[in-house]
Amino acid sequence: MDTITLRFDQIIVPPGHEVWLQDINWHTFEAILNKLDETRGRKLAYNGEILEIMSPLALHEDSKNIIGRFIEVLLEEMNLEFRALGSTTFKNPRTGKAVEPDECFYIENEAVILGKTRIDLQNDPPPDLVLEIDLSSNTHLNIYQALGVPEVWRYADDKLFIYVLQHGIYVQVVTSPRFSSMDLCTTIPRFLIQSRTQGRTKAIRGFRAWVKSLITL
């Protein structure tokens, strides 16, 4: 069989679509990462020699930005220090897996990575909380599980799902252990929908007021 060689920049992924490349070893995956610009506007997930490339839709980016801001409001109002590292590439050659979340936050481990310009999961902890928006792709829970991410929030079909790592396996829960007094699975989608009809600023202000009302109870 003839071998066909393509440059990575020849692969075009329209918004809202995915491309899978198989038989990609770790060395090739690292080489692809080195060639890509950090502002490329595409998301990557690597899962045991299969590389997935996803190009987000505008609705995807809007949703991740606003829900990410809601998470920041929660942490701010609870007076918790955190670092928001967006779609940083998290990889670990020992597991042969890598992923770029929509949004991610260091909270309990914020002090551990404070001042660091690069995260190495062979020495550093993974993010404490990850957000994924499933509009045109599926959340790779198996990758996050292998990387040891304690908590994953997944937004899909106008619903929020929360998964917590227990004994090495994700379990879906009703409330986040970190915000146990708050019905976030109902409230966050409600305020997100409000942001699309009444404006982002109004929705964020309303969400902050809701959080404050529960904290002061």
pLDDT digits (tens, 9 = 90+) for 139-184: 899 999 999 999 999 999 999 999 999 999 999 999 999 999 999 9
Q: What is the mean pLDDT of residues 53-70?
A: 91
Least-confidence region, from 9-18, 131-140, 171-180, 200-209: 9-18
**Lowest mean pLDDT, pick from 35-44, 70-79, 88-97:** 35-44
Any idea which residue has 């991410």 for tokens? 149
pLDDT at 16: 64
| Pair 109, 128: CB distance under 8 Å | yes
Rounded to whole angstroms, how far apart are CA atoms 86 and 38? 12
Give dist(CA 115, CA 108) in Å, integer: 15
Residue with tokens 């990758």: 143
Three-class SS of residue 106? strand
Residue ranges of domains in the chain, CATH in brackets: 57-215 (3.90.1570)
Pick the range with the lowest mean pLDDT from 34-38, 89-93, 151-155. Answer: 34-38
CA distance 53 to 21: 8
**Total-model pTM:** 0.90
Pick from 19, 37, 21: which is nearest to 136 by CA? 19
- Sequence-separated (6 or more) residues with CB below 8 Å from residue 49: 22, 23, 24, 25, 96
Return the minimum-mean-pLDDT range out of 14-18, 72-76, 84-88, 206-210: 14-18
Strand, helix or coil for residue 127: coil
* Long-range contact set of residues 164-170: C-beta below 8 Å, sequence gap at least 24: 169/145, 170/141, 170/144, 170/145
Q: Using 50, 70 and 90 to split pLDDT, how confident is the model at 187?
A: very high
**How confident is the model over 104-147, as pLDDT tens digits?**
999 999 999 999 999 999 999 999 999 999 876 678 999 999 99
